[in-house]
Amino acid sequence: MNQKAKYYIQKLQLEKHPEGGYFREIYRAGEMISIDAPKKNLKRNVSTSIYFLLEGSQISKFHRLKSDELWHFYDGSSVKVYVIDEKGSKTEILLGKKTEDGEIFQTVIKKNNWFAAEVVNKRSFVLIGCTVSPGFDFSDFELANREYLIKCYPKHKSMILRFTNP
């Protein structure tokens, strides 16, 4: 394991995340808001934030949320984020510090879009922050089913195979 990644995992007290990598929640707003949910009166925290780390060849598997999520680059290698929107269009976003090469420091993944990520330099790691608004709740998190995604988006089959569980 990369020594700096190991340092961050210990220093920031990160734990394994179900989608891959490591995380720790660092902020959960005290204020609550009602969210759109037919026939339900659901409430969510206004906002939440986590540290998220991928090390080497770890991936963030395809998943989606019912809220927008902002990814903020902090340290390490560049990270490539793959997004499939609700119409089936694929976008690749490169987060990192090499702005002269077109990398950006932060991006927004819109709610209900499927997304996955990987570290560009497999000998390195990436440390990012993720801010979700309305706030994250595991009941709003959906890890992709491989067969379902391939059925919905067959033109992205090879990418879906790489970033989902069999």
Which domain range does residue 48 map to? 3-162
Residues whose CB is less than 8 angstroms from the CB of residue 73 and which lie 6 or more positions away in sequence, other chains included? 79, 95, 96, 97, 103, 104, 105, 106, 126, 128
We report the CATH number of the domain holding residue 7 as: 2.60.120.10
- The pLDDT, as a whole number, for residue 37 is 61
Asked if residues 73 and 128 have their Cβ atoms less than 8 Å apart, the reply is yes
Is residue 94 pLDDT above 90, yes or no? yes
Residues whose CB is less than 8 angstroms from the CB of residue 141 and which lie 6 or more positions away in sequence, other chains included? 18, 63, 64, 65
Asked if residues 26 and 8 have their Cβ atoms less than 8 Å apart, the reply is no
- Give 112-156 pLDDT, tens digit per residue: 999 999 999 999 999 999 999 999 998 899 999 999 999 999 999
- The pLDDT, as a whole number, for residue 106 is 97
Number of structural domains found in the chain: 1
- Give 27-80 pLDDT, tens digit per residue: 999 999 888 765 566 889 999 999 999 999 999 999 999 999 999 999 999 999
Is the pTM here over 0.75, yes or no? yes
